[in-house]
């Protein structure tokens, strides 16, 4: 049984922040969508907050925009929830300290991936 986590409720705020960071970097939606491996229309829905944003996709977006998850996600326990879906049974859970632990782990992963990307850029 694998849990699938999605950011809920504040997707439009996260999407607005994603758009802001993309525009600050001078990137087009087409460019970011190509980097993260989705269509431009699917990426547009992320920025509009009209589609579910998975943790994996959020990580890819952060890497493409060279920012941290903390910069995009509002860490307000009352406004951000994670939905865990196990075998079609969905239940919402309060984030509490669990979110802090997950974010710390993801930040470590992002740092590692950024270092790998930098090494690849330097070696080419």
From CA 7, how far away is CA 60, in angstroms rounded?
A: 14
Q: What is the DSSP string of 2-20?
A: --EEEE-S-HHHHHHHHHH
Is the pLDDT reported for residue 120 higher than 70?
yes
pLDDT per residue over 33-74, tens digit each? 999 999 999 999 999 989 888 888 999 999 999 888 888 875
Task: List the chain domain ranges.
Answer: 4-123
More confident call, 85 vs 18: 18
Identify the CATH assignment for 4-123 out of 1.10.260.40, 3.20.20.80, 3.30.930.10, 1.10.10.10: 1.10.260.40
């Amino acid at each position: 049984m694998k849990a699938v986590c999605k950011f809920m409720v504040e997707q439009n705020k996260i999407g607005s922040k994603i758009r802001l960071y993309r525009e600050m970097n001078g990137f087009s939606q087409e460019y970011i969508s190509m980097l993260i491996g989705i269509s431009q229309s699917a990426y547009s829905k992320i920025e509009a907050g009209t589609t579910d944003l998975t943790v994996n996709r959020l990580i890819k977006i952060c890497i493409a925009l060279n920012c941290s998850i903390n910069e995009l996600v509002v860490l307000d326990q009352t406004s951000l929830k994670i939905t865990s879906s196990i075998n079609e049974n969905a239940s919402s859970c309060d984030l509490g300290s669990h979110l802090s632990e997950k974010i710390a782990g993801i930040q470590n992963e992002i740092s590692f991936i950024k270092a790998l990307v930098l090494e690849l850029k330097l070696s080419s």
